[in-house]
Structure 1
Amino acid sequence: MDVNEFMKDAVVTMKQVAGRTLRVATWRLDQPSDHLPVLFFNGIGANIEAVAPLADHLNERPFIMFDMPGVGESPDPLLPYNPFTISWTAAQLLDQLGVGDVDVMGISWGGGIAQHFAMQHAERSRRVILIATSAGMLMMPGSPKALTKMANPRRYVDADYMIKNFETLYGDGLGKSKGKGGHMSRLKPPSPRGYMYQLICMLGWTSAPALPFLLKQETLIMMGDDDAIVPLANGKFLNMLIPNSELVVMEGGGHLFLLSHEEESISAIQSFLNRKEGAAGKSQAA
């Protein structure tokens, strides 16, 4: 499906938030809903369009996402930022949008920001979904081959490079599916400064000591067992640390199992978010 099809229902604006200019996309925020909005934090270097299919599939819920500074169409940041300041910026954005409580979701790099936001702004974070992510610095590293290519922004600007290394980066599951081309068509390269500042943002950061005490929300951890970038062990570690969490493992899923295991992923997310309050508990499912 063409990227414009996923974005046709989005309201995309440039907003001045906490001294930064951010490109913001919202879905269904002006429509009546029985559900809280989802606040989504994207992976490193990824623009709004990369995750637009998820917003489209969760069509019963308002959905909020923004391009990080220097990513997508958000201008370069003048100064570096860290998880505290970007979480505060996200809270300021919610205030501008007239949004109170949210369900918080993040993938990969954005999963770290989602953890931090949910702890820093616990009073407005109902539930948390962590996708293909880790506790930050205290993590089981992925394949050196995959990490080397992940750190190279060339994957965004050189189509041949991306095609050649797609399976190494994201796993065989998506690499052999029609979702590969669709995902690549939605990517827009970050600026060199934007990409570097995202890397610097998480330098030395870890949520591990705080998770048992500060992340008290019901939390769904979703991992692929064939993820070469963030191995499954990291999800198990998060599940051990977060008191009210459950782990769902996508069999054969690489780093982009949201796309390769789309129906399973959407079903798990919807089931978790629709569950009655207090019904979630410590569990692990494969």
Structure 2
Amino acid sequence: MGTVPDVTDASPAPEPDGLRRTTAVASDGTRLAVQVSGPPPSASPRTPVLLLAGQANSHRWWDGLREDLDVDRTTVTLDWRGTGASDAPDAPYGTPVLAGDAVAVLDALGLGRVDVHGTSMGGRVAQWLAADHPERVRRLVLGCTSPGGPHAAERGPQVRRALADPDPERARAALVDLMVPPSWVAQHGEPTTVLGDPGMTPASRGRHLVCSNRHDAWDALPRIVAPTLVLHGDEDAMAPVANAALLVERVPDARVHVLAGARHAYFLHRRAEAAALVRDFLD
């Protein structure tokens, strides 16, 4: 696809939320909503960074941390298919398909090699992106994620039961507790940006769940050549911290940083620390 210079280079006036918007088209015709912030690549010596959100979430997942990164670099997000302003095709897909969507976004923006920061399901997608398209990834950050498949450390049955509670209020409370500690909620309120896109249809939510659950990049991980930082909270019950060690063992040039006392959305309740770690690694 061609470049979109009025988004990445000309820096038009941003919309009220500070983002510049455009659209990319995936290989199957799915239209993907794209958001860009920070200085254009031509005005910054730093490599643009592609941010990949968690399951059933739009680009809003990155509210907060994005502002810590786009001070001096271009940041790019997309709404996963089925979320936000993107199309919601009625067909199954896996994390490799979503990695192809990410490539379509980079192509639409005329971006070649970028840094990639994926968390949760976005980290699963980032694994395929780095393994299958090594020429597009300079450095890789994998946060609160898993290699998937039979080798992965799975969440416990108590967590699964809590998230599947038929009472929506109890299920939401369980999700909030998995994401951030009560002390953070008491100060900031619910972390609404990481609790799922409220505009998603039940069908799209189901497709995301299947997509994430069927992820298995175990055999692909050794093909990743980008220097990789693995970030994980040691109190993450959604994606147990044992997965961090598995990723470091499989990715050839990987290092790990475990945040003590952090849960799944460590990038929210440990925002300053997480942002500093990412910036230092990408720099």
TM-score > 0.5, shorter chain as reference: yes
Aligned to 1:256: 265
The one-letter code of the counterpart of 1:106 is: G
The one-letter code of the counterpart of 2:277 is: A
Aligned to 1:104: 116
Say if 2:146 is the partner of 1:146.
Answer: no
Counterparts of residues 21-36 of structure 1 (less than 5 Å): 21-28=31-38, 30=40, 32-36=43-47
Cα distance change on mapping 1:194 and 1:123 into 2, 3 Å: same
> Which structure 1 segments of 5+ residues have no match?
1-5, 275-286
Say if 2:101 is the partner of 1:89.
Answer: yes
Cα distance change on mapping 1:268 and 1:83 into 2, 3 Å: same
Counterparts of residues 237-276 of structure 1 (less than 5 Å): 237-274=246-283
Cα distance change on mapping 1:220 and 1:71 into 2, 3 Å: same
**Whole-Å separation in 1 of the counterparts to 2:193 and 2:65:** 15
RMSD over aligned Cα atoms? 2.6
Aligned to 2:236: 227
Q: How many residues align?
A: 265
Cα distance change on mapping 1:81 and 1:149 into 2, 3 Å: same
Aligned to 1:278: none
Cα distance change on mapping 1:149 and 1:67 into 2, 3 Å: farther
Say if 2:60 is the partner of 1:49.
Answer: yes
Local SS of the residue matching 1:130:
strand
The one-letter code of the counterpart of 1:55 is: R
Counterparts of residues 5-44 of structure 1 (less than 5 Å): 8-18=17-27, 19-28=29-38, 30=40, 32-44=43-55
Moved over 6 A (4+): none
**Whole-Å separation in 1 of the counterparts to 2:16 and 2:61:** 10
Mapped contact 1:174–1:180 kept (Cα < 8 A): no
Aligned to 2:77: 65
Cα distance change on mapping 1:46 and 1:148 into 2, 3 Å: farther
Deviation, 1:50, is 2.2
**Whole-Å separation in 2 of the counterparts to 1:269 and 1:235:** 16
**Whole-Å separation in 1 of the counterparts to 2:98 and 2:194:** 27
Aligned to 1:211: 221
Mapped contact 1:132–1:230 kept (Cα < 8 A): yes
Percent sequence identity over matched residues? 27
Cα distance change on mapping 1:227 and 1:180 into 2, 3 Å: farther
Q: What is the TM-score when the length of structure 1 is the normalising length?
A: 0.83
